[in-house]
Amino acid sequence: MEKQIAANAKPTAPHSPKVKVRMESLSQIRKIILTLLMSGFALLMVMPFIWMISTSFKSPADVFTYPIQWIPSSLNWEHHIKVWSGADTFATYYLNSLKISLISTIGAVFLSAFAAYGFARIQFKGRETLFLIYLSMMMVPPQVLFVPKFLMFEWVGIYNTHWALILPGMFTIFGVFMLRQFFLSVPSEISEAAFIDGAGHLRIFFRLILPLAKPALATLAIIDFSWHWNDYENALVFLIDKDLYTVPLGLQNFILENNVDYNGMMAAATAGIIPMIIVFLVGQHYIIQGVAGSAVKG
Amino acid sequence: MHKSWMKRQSRLGYLFIGPNMIGVLLFFIIPAVYSFYLMFTDYKFMSPETNFVGLDNIRRMLNDDLFGVALRNTFVFLLAVPVSMGLAFIVAVALNKSVYWQKTLRALYFMPYITSGVAIAFVWMLLFQPTSGPINGFLRGIGITNPPGWLSTTEWSMYAIDIIWIWFMLGYNMIIYLAALQEIPEELVEAARIDGARPWQTIRQVIWPLVSPTTFLLLITGLIMTIKNFGIIQAITQGGPGNSTTVLSLFIYQNAFRYYEMGYAAAISWALFAIIMVFTVLQWLGQKRWVHY
């Protein structure tokens, strides 16, 4: 590789101090230009969000005026009020989403940690085969599982209840995979010392490994929570009653019922997005780390 | 090693994995097996009887014009993956070192990815509005008198979805590329610079080959992620206009829960599985042959 570069590049004279100073200010300028370019492109990326928020405050007549009115001529709160009041409101959807996401996430983190410890730290018969089965399940698209799950939930009577989302939500193969990866990276000397002191696996798991894994657990919790909060497909298949709707379904419902009220639509979309933006701002570090780590290692 | 000790270890192992295993069995393995069985039946929801029909569903699928349409739309949908990756690579290289406000910029690019869901679908629906939407307003503004009808026309609808998906995936791809770029030893880039390589040459001949495993990984995982997704399309177009945005994953959902053709839906879902399987095998082979850590 380096040879290629040497062949392509013209030989340059060693830099004199003067040239060096000039180059530094040159790279400074380059840095500023690049920053401006990248900021412009970033602005383009978030423009749909800005347009959404600004439209939610506009009057109906101003939605499609061109050039775009980024700052509404008057702040109209009525669209937001409409979203949050009435028969089926976003308050209900928020509560439902919060309930489902929280219970699922807590369950998933705990159950994944337990299983991941077993896979990473205990030698037992059939471990490799079992793990392989787990991994192969990651290949199965959700569409394969929808119909059988639908029939199963009908049969046990949890179809069209929140349990149809919470129970399967507590099991995440990705979570087991990710935490196993983390537990494998904890040096075995730590648990060996505890073994010699007479501690068993349960004690080591609760007293040593879990506290050490706090960042990994937080990462999984945030990623899992956002996944549940945004999950539209499962809710679409397993819920019918409006009072059970989660935020994505509620949003769809609102838009079906108000399909010409563009301001209301954007107020509803804003309501649907805000919680995740807050979670993102708080847990940015974990989300980015978790996403990057899982892909690079996985 | 002691036999009784091994036994105790095994018991403990199952104790730890057991709770999770029950769930995986109930919500993954049993449904998967059952779906495999359904593929060979004519099961319709609430129908009086179910018959074993052998390969009829698969034969029907291969002769179904709509299946062909859905397959073609799926491939158009998948085009978004490499495009999004290309843009993400450029952004990642630019953001890796030589800019101010790195953290803020990263967060902004990543924003669409966490707000996944129907909300953004509806925002884009209005942005793409053909007669008075802001995107076509802009296009007219720069002199395009006859801008595309986007989501309302069969020619453009799938590409409009592609644009949304490129936007959505860009932040994710960028973060993974950034992680890969940070693994590259400083000395290599420095050496290239001292050898007189221009920035463009360094990117093409040093950085790009070094991140090739990441490119490959992103391509395959991106294809898998995309091929499974149907929420965004269901929310915006429900597969229309006509069947112009009916991708395979949405086609399965429609057959199962709109027409209650559950046996048929199961068959198509296993076709989807077969495609994912091909990608997964490629990834596995790729890891052995191209990935040089």
Cβ neighbours, 10 Å, residue B201 = 17
The whole-chain average pLDDT of chain B stands at 90
Q: Please tell me the predicted confidence (pLDDT) of residue A6.
A: 45
Q: Ranked by mean pLDDT, which of B95-109, B146-160, B189-203, B205-219 comes out on top?
A: B146-160
- Whether residue B120 and residue A68 make contact (CB cut-off 8 A), yes or no, is no
Alpha carbon distance A1, B207 (integer Å): 11
Q: How many residue contacts between A and B have a Cβ separation below 8 Å? A: 304
Question: In degrees to the nearest 10, what's the CA dihedral of B174, A266, A94, A77?
Answer: 130
Sequence-distant (6+) residues with CB within 8 A of A235 are: A165, A245, A246, A248, A249
Q: C-alpha distances in angstroms, B220 versus A239, B173, B195, B248? A: 32, 12, 35, 18
Alpha carbon distance B132, B122 (integer Å): 16
CA distance B155 to chain A (A): 23
The 10s digit of each residue's pLDDT in B189-246 is: 888 888 888 888 888 888 998 898 889 989 998 999 999 999 999 999 999 899 999 9
Most B CBs within 10 A among A33, A144, A227, A230, hence the mutation to make, goes to A144
Alpha carbon distance A109, B19 (integer Å): 12
Query: What residues does B52 pair with on adjacent strands?
Result: B41
Structure-token pair, residue A294? 């899982």
Q: Which chain A positions have a beta carbon within 8 Å of B283's beta carbon?
A: none
Q: Please tell me the predicted confidence (pLDDT) of residue B166.
A: 97
Cβ neighbours, 10 Å, residue A123 = 12
- Whether residue B127 and residue A51 make contact (CB cut-off 8 A), yes or no, is yes
Which candidate from B19, B100, B172 shows the least CB-CB separation from A31?
B100
Sequence-distant (6+) residues with CB within 8 A of B33 are: none
Closest residue of chain B to A39, computed from CA coordinates: B105
- Asked whether B81 and A235 are in contact (CB, 8 A), the reply is no
Alpha carbon distance B288, B291 (integer Å): 6
For chain B, percent of residues with pLDDT exceeding 70: 97
Residues 220-279 of A with CB under 8 A from B: 226, 230, 232-233, 236-237, 247-248, 251-252, 255, 262, 265-266, 268-270, 272-273, 276-277, 279
Q: Please tell me the predicted confidence (pLDDT) of residue A2.
A: 41
Output the CA torsion sign for B140, B168, A281, A272.
Answer: positive
**Secondary structure of B119-154 in the HEC alphabet?**
HHHHHHHHHCCCCCCHHHHHHHHCCCCCCCCHHHCC
- Whether residue B126 and residue A230 make contact (CB cut-off 8 A), yes or no, is no
Question: What element of type H or E holds B252?
Answer: helix B248-257
Stronger pLDDT, B3 or A186, i.e. the higher one: A186
Q: Please tell me the predicted confidence (pLDDT) of residue A69.
A: 81
- Asked whether A237 and A148 are in contact (CB, 8 A), the reply is no
- Per-residue confidence at B290, pLDDT binned at 50, 70, 90? low
Q: Please tell me the predicted confidence (pLDDT) of residue A8.
A: 47
Phi–psi pair at B41, nearest 5 degrees: -120, 170
The 10s digit of each residue's pLDDT in B80-90 is: 999 999 999 99
- Asked whether B217 and A295 are in contact (CB, 8 A), the reply is yes
- Asked whether A165 and A245 are in contact (CB, 8 A), the reply is no
Which candidate from B34, B95, B172 shows the least CB-CB separation from A148?
B34
Sequence-distant (6+) residues with CB within 8 A of A120 are: A179, A180, A183, A184
- Asked whether B86 and B231 are in contact (CB, 8 A), the reply is no
Phi–psi pair at A73, nearest 5 degrees: -65, -30
Sequence-distant (6+) residues with CB within 8 A of B142 are: none
Question: In degrees to the nearest 10, what's the CA dihedral of B252, B256, B257, B260?
Answer: 150
For the cut 60, the answer to whether the pLDDT of residue B123 exceeds it is yes
Question: Can you tell me the mean pLDDT for B49-65?
Answer: 90
Cβ neighbours, 10 Å, residue B187 = 9
Q: Please tell me the predicted confidence (pLDDT) of residue B283.
A: 83
- Asked whether B151 and B173 are in contact (CB, 8 A), the reply is no
Residues 28-67 of B with CB under 8 A from A: 28-32, 34-35, 38
One pLDDT digit (tens) per residue for chain A, 298 residues: 444 444 444 445 555 666 666 767 778 888 899 999 999 999 999 999 999 999 999 888 888 887 788 888 888 898 899 888 877 789 999 999 999 999 999 999 999 999 999 999 998 888 999 999 998 898 899 999 999 999 999 999 999 999 999 999 999 998 999 899 889 988 888 888 888 888 788 889 998 899 999 989 998 998 899 899 999 999 999 999 999 999 999 999 988 888 888 999 999 999 999 988 888 888 888 888 777 766 544 3
Query: What residues does A56 pair with on adjacent strands?
Result: none
Q: Please tell me the predicted confidence (pLDDT) of residue A298.
A: 36
Q: C-alpha distances in angstroms, A88 versus A162, A264, B83? A: 17, 14, 40
Phi–psi pair at B259, nearest 5 degrees: -100, -5
Phi–psi pair at B252, nearest 5 degrees: -65, -50
Alpha carbon distance B266, A140 (integer Å): 12
Q: Please tell me the predicted confidence (pLDDT) of residue B205.
A: 87
Alpha carbon distance B110, B85 (integer Å): 13
Q: C-alpha distances in angstroms, A97 versus A247, A250, A284? A: 6, 10, 21
Residues 50-109 of A with CB under 8 A from B: 51-52, 55, 63-64, 66-68
B284 touching A, CB under 8 A? Answer: no
- Whether residue A173 and residue B24 make contact (CB cut-off 8 A), yes or no, is yes
Q: Which chain B positions have a beta carbon within 8 Å of A236's beta carbon?
A: 231, 234, 253
Structure-token pair, residue B247? 């991708």
pTM over 0.95: no
Residues 36-55 of A with CB under 8 A from B: 37-39, 41-43, 45-46, 48-49, 51-52, 55
B106 touching A, CB under 8 A? Answer: yes
Which candidate from B108, B206, B270 shows the least CB-CB separation from A45?
B108
Alpha carbon distance B22, A63 (integer Å): 52
Query: What residues does B41 pair with on adjacent strands?
Result: B52
Query: What residues does B44 pair with on adjacent strands?
Result: B261
B247 touching A, CB under 8 A? Answer: no
Poorest-confidence range of A11-20, B32-41, B278-287? A11-20
Alpha carbon distance A263, A279 (integer Å): 25
- Whether residue A287 and residue B234 make contact (CB cut-off 8 A), yes or no, is no
